[in-house]
Homo-oligomer: A and B are copies of this chain.
Amino acid sequence: MTKSTEPQTATNSSPVTLINVVEIPHDQVDTFVEGWTERVKILSEKPGFVSATLHQALAGETRFQLVNVALWRDQQALSDATKDPNFSGSTRATSTKLDVSTNPGLYRVAADQVAAGSEG
């Protein structure tokens, strides 16, 4: 019996969304955003990067203070890009400095909806 640790997906050449749900104390959010801004610049120069948006909770008591939603051409491009030592070094520096727990996962769009009438 073998157990695959690869994400289950129909095809690895499909566009993929990386969502990272971040648990972090409210007073450390600004420092995380600074580091993220540095790291995303590195990634934005890699083949297959499409876009990334870091969302910050409006309320200090929201459980997940930050949520990153990033689009990539495919899983392989994302995997290759994050091997850059400048990226992984900055990620490690952030984890050491801050009381942060990250929950990255790969996602596909299950369903979506635009405003009624906006197609007409």
- Give the docked Cα–Cα distance between A41 and B33 (Å): 34
Determine if A79 is an interface residue (Cβ-Cβ < 8 Å). no
Q: How far is the CA of A29 from the CA of B6 in the complex (A)?
A: 19
> Are A111 and B8 in touch, CB under 8 angstroms?
no
Residues of chain B contacted by A62 (CB below 8 angstroms) = 7, 105-106
Q: How far is the CB of A91 from chain B (nearest CB, A)?
A: 16
Instruction: Report the minimal beta-carbon distance from A48 to chain B, rounded to whole angstroms.
Output: 9
Contact A51-B113, Cβ < 8 Å, known A8-B60, A21-B64, A67-B67: yes
Main secondary structure of the interface of A (DSSP, over half): strand
How many copies are assembled? Answer: 2
Complex-state Cα separation, A109 to B58, whole angstroms: 10
Contact-residue bracket for chain A? 35 or more
Closest 10 CB pairs of A and B: A56-B110, A55-B107, A62-B105, A7-B59, A7-B58, A53-B112, A40-B113, A45-B116, A58-B106, A54-B111
Whether B110 pairs with A33 at a CB distance below 8 angstroms is: yes
- Which residues from B are CB-within-8-Å of A16? 58
Interface string of A19-55 (1 = CB under 8 A from B): 1010000000100010011001101110001111111
